[in-house]
Structure 1
Amino acid sequence: MDAAQRRTETSLRTDPGFFNLLSNSYSRLLGKPLVPEHVSIEDAPRWLYESAPFGLLAHNTMADPVFVYGNMTAQKLFEYDWDELTGLPSRLSAQAPDRDERRAFLEQVERDGFVCAYRGMRVTKSGKRFWIDNVVVWQLHDDAGVYCGQAALIPWTSGV
């Protein structure tokens, strides 16, 4: 069992180690912080989970990756609670006709390390289709360089 799989056995909602994986990978690749500087390092994991004005999802490295993290904004956007979302194959965030496009996009992220300004059609638990726009998707690598999955930052407004 790798480190990413062990992490799924405990709640990653506000886990400082998982937060560091998300934020350090983001900062290394994009050259800017994931969390605003006014948020203290002690409060950052909780802020990201409970208060971030964007959705944040992460999936693991399995052959059919599953979500291991989804902040509260992402849960609202996709209409899943934490227990439903974590463990859900991430491919199910898109309907079958949109999955080939999603897979090709994720291969681009794997090749380039990150992609900004992604736009794609997604589907909620209830089957409602919606667009995600200006999404940033990046590779998750721990401090030793071990690949741990991918994460997506989804800008969101309450009007979506």
Structure 2
Amino acid sequence: MPANDSAAMTAAPFDRSEPDAGNGFQAASARLIVASHSRLLHRDLLPDDAADDLGRRLYGAPFIVLAHDAAADPIFFYANLAAQELFAMSWREIVRLPSRLSAEPLAREERQRLLDRVAREGFIDDYGGVRIAASGERFRICGATVWNLVSEAATSVGQAASFATWEPLR
């Protein structure tokens, strides 16, 4: 996001505890991610977004879902199981990771341009780029959707991304 916008956006105090039945598999974060997606893209992220088991279904979805806060150097606060596997990180590792570190150093400028575009336009649904897992494996994301996360009070609190297609790079 542009530097002048980051001052207006403050990081929400997200619960970064590991998803489990006790927190509804991060139900509050899942509702924010799903509701923001529906509001901006006018389509559901999950079939039947109104289901009671939204947190568990998003956490176990067969596609990647990640979200970071709105800090000046955003940190992931959500990564479903598919994202944890792809990025070769546990929940505890990934929710402490500045999102910029999910890209290689040379790809970080490209990533920042993407985030700036999302901040301006609300969402994009045509992103592709190279990312790197904790294992050192590189992969190209194809056809990702990235959108702003907006609280019920209409405050920007971060951004989320979802994609189902990637290819390993050797």
Q: 1:5-24, aligned counterparts within 5 Å?
A: 5=13, 7-11=14-18, 14-24=25-35
- Computed over aligned residues only, the root mean square deviation of the Cα atoms, in angstroms, reads 1.9
AA aligned opposite 2:28: G
Per the alignment, residue 101 of structure 2 pairs with 92
TM-score, scaled to structure 2: 0.84
| Structure 2 segments unaligned to the other structure (5+ residues) | 1-9
Give 1:16 shift.
2.3
Q: Name the structure 2 match of 1:141.
A: 150
Name the aligned partner's letter for residue 42 of structure 1: D
The answer to which of 148-157 and 10-19 deviates more is 10-19
Which residue identity does 2:12 align to in structure 1?
A
3-state DSSP of counterpart to 1:24: helix
Given the alignment of the two structures, is residue 118 of structure 1 paired with residue 104 of structure 2, yes or no?
no
Q: Is the 8 A contact 1:56 1:153 kept in 2?
A: yes
- Aligned residue among 68, 73, 76 for 1:64: 73
Q: Which runs of 4+ in 1 moved over 4 A?
A: none
Q: Shift of residue 156 of structure 1?
A: 3.9
Partner of 1:35: 46
Measure how far apart 1:18 and its partner are: 1.6
The AA in structure 2 aligned to 1:123 is I
- Between the two proteins, the alignment pairs up a number of residues equal to 155
- Confirm or deny: 8 A CA contact 2:33 2:160 kept in the other structure: yes
Tell me whether 1:131 sits opposite 2:131 in the alignment: no
Could you give the per-residue CA deviations for residues 24-68 of structure 1, whole angstroms, max 9, x where no partner exists? Answer: 10000000111112x762112101102x11100000011110000
**Structure 1 segments unaligned to the other structure (5+ residues):** none
Which residue type is aligned with residue 161 of structure 2?
A
1:8: Cα distance to partner? 3.1
Q: Residue in 2 aligned with 1:45?
A: 55
Normalising by the residue count of structure 1, what TM-score does the alignment of the two structures yield? 0.89
